Amino acid sequence: MAPGGFERGGALDPELKTGVSGRRWLPGMILVAASYVVIGVVFAALAKPADANHVRMWRLAAWLASAALAAAHIGYEHYRLGGSPRTTALHAAGAVALGAFGLALAANVHWLAAGSPGQRAPLLALPIWPVVTAPPAFLGALAAAALLARVSRRRT
């Protein structure tokens, strides 16, 4: 096995490169993760002064914005970077997990700033939110990327 690489059938797997030149996907993943955090924080702030029906509307809007961002990320990975469905799904799930960690961090900062006496810090959210959100994101992105790969193959 090559240092820092993964082997598949005795050869270094090109999809799992660890060299710097093989990480064109990393800035996009970080940007998408930061965007998930911004969506979560901004839409939560917009929903704060609203009544119960408007809170639901803002939550739905945040879900739709996040879904659009996820679709754009999957499309970018597939069309611009030429990633396989598995690689695309891993990168999309990584962005979701990083975004979930960022939101958990924001929840902890909010807890500190709000000074909620009697409430415990949401520290468990830091490891749990990424672990809970990444697998469904991977499966959804894998299905979407596989569909894109199948549709792309038919057109060529």
pTM over 0.85: no
* Count of C-beta atoms within a 10 Å radius of residue 26: 12
What pLDDT does residue 58 have?
Answer: 92
Q: 107-147, pLDDT tens digit by residue?
A: 999 888 887 777 787 899 999 999 999 999 999 999 999 99
102 vs 94: CA distance, rounded Å: 12
Cα distances (Å, whole numbers) of residue 138 to 21, 46, 96, 148, 156: 24, 29, 9, 15, 27
Q: Please give the radius of gyration of the chain, using alpha carbons only, rounded to the nearest integer.
A: 18
Tell me which residue of 85, 86, 70 sits closest to 33, measured CA to CA.
70
| Beta carbons of 30 and 92 less than 8 angstroms apart | no
Q: 74-88, pLDDT tens digit by residue?
A: 999 999 999 999 999
Tell me which residue of 140, 150, 146, 152 sits closest to 67, measured CA to CA.
140
In this structure, what are the phi and psi dihedrals at residue 66, rounded to the nearest 5 degrees?
-65, -40
147 vs 66: CA distance, rounded Å: 20
